[in-house]
Structures are given as C-alpha cells and as structure tokens.
C-alpha cells in the first residue's frame, strides 16, 4: 500500500514547550503529513547525538520493516542492544486538537531538553533538539559540509550501477 502522504521534512524552526512538555507542531508540517486531515499523530524515539526523531506512521512502518528484514536480528550483541534502545524508547504521540504533541519524559531527559527546542528537517523524518545542543552540533559540523558531501558522493560512486538512481535526463535500460 502506498502512503497517502509522502512528506519531505525540510528547514528548521524554534519552539517553546509549554508546562506540560507539549510541542506545537507547525501547521504546514501537519498539513503535509496528513495529520490535520486524518489525525495520524507521530512516532518519537531516540535519535543520534541526543536528539529525538519524529516519524509519520508510514515512515515508522518503513523503519520497522527494514529492521525486521534482517534475518534473526537477535543473534548479535550490537543488534540486540540497538533494538532494545531504539524500540523501548519509541512512543506513539497523537496531536491534540490544537496541534500539540507531548514529548515523553524519558525522551525529554535523553535529549536534555529544557524549554526551547528546534525542529530540524532531515528528509524523510524530523529531529527535535534542545536549542543549545543543536547550536553546538551545527557549529561543529557545518564547516565539514563540503567534506561530508564529497564522502557521500564517493560512497554513491561505489554502489553497483543497478542500485543508483538514474541522474536527471538519463534513461536506464533493462
């Protein structure tokens, strides 16, 4: 089944949590994901670098599917540890009628969030960061942008030809 909405999470915006640790999800994001129309809510879990990742239900299903596709995922210590941490911290968080979602206490502590957060687009998902931690991360990693781009380009060039998407204007043959 194809997802009804295929959101692209872009840009970033700063928000203040209210006294109940609720984040107002931007209207444009709620429209783009179908949350306003269908009241779908979001999945939150721990992300890298002490952020929280935010996924649509369709995006979450894709992640679960990819992680479950591994044969016998419980056989390696690394996989067990990752699955335990990733899935045990996962929470489905519906939005209330005002578009607010409550950030669970354990995730708020993990992400070292006080009151100010920044919602950061990351392509197929979004990240919720403490503003100060994001600023530190951004200042540290931003100068490496060209280096990271080149590394990703080099990684893409090593993929088998059939695994790479066709470039604009280029046709593929079977």
Dump pLDDT digits (tens) for 18-68: 999 999 887 677 666 655 555 678 899 999 999 999 998 888 888 888 877
| Per-residue pLDDT tens over the stretch 7-21 | 667 778 899 999 999
Question: 94-123: per-residue pLDDT in tens?
Answer: 988 888 899 999 999 999 999 999 999 887
Domain CATH number, residue 88: 3.40.1550.20
Q: Which residues contact 109 (CB under 8 A, 6 or more apart)?
A: none
| 165: confidence class by pLDDT, cuts 50, 70, 90 | very low
User: Is residue 157 a part of any domain in this protein?
Assistant: no
For residue 152, being part of any structural domain is answered with no
28 inside domain: yes
Domain of 36 in residue numbering reads as 12-132
Among residues 22, 23, 25, the alpha carbon closest in space to that of 9 is found at 25
Q: Look-up: residue for tokens 């056989």?
A: 75
Note whether residue 111 is domain-resident.
yes
**pLDDT for 160 beyond 70:** no
- For residue 159, being part of any structural domain is answered with no
Q: Is the pLDDT of residue 173 over 50?
A: no
Does some domain include residue 53? yes
Q: Domain count of the chain?
A: 1
More confident residue, 131 or 152: 131
The neighbouring-strand residues paired with 12 are 120
- Asked if residue 107 lies in contact with residue 45, where contact means CB atoms within 8 angstroms, the answer is yes
| Residue 85 covered by a domain | yes
Q: Is residue 59 part of a domain?
A: yes
């Amino acid at each position: 089944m194809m997802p009804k909405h295929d959101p692209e999470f872009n840009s970033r915006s700063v928000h203040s949590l209210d006294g109940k640790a609720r984040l107002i999800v931007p209207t444009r994001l709620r429209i783009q994901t179908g949350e306003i129309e269908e009241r779908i809510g979001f999945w939150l879990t721990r992300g890298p670098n002490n952020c929280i990742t935010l996924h649509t239900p369709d995006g979450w299903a894709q992640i679960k599917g990819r992680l479950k596709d591994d044969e016998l995922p419980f056989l390696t210590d690394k996989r067990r540890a990752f699955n335990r941490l990733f899935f045990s911290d996962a929470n489905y968080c519906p939005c209330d009628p005002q578009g607010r979602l409550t950030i669970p206490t354990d995730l708020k502590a993990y992400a070292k969030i006080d009151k100010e957060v920044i919602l950061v687009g990351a392509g197929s998902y979004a990240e919720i960061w403490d503003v100060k931690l994001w600023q530190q991360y951004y200042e540290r990693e931003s100068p490496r942008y060209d280096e990271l781009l080149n590394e990703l380009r080099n990684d893409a060039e090593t993929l088998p030809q059939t695994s790479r998407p066709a470039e604009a204007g280029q046709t593929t043959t079977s």
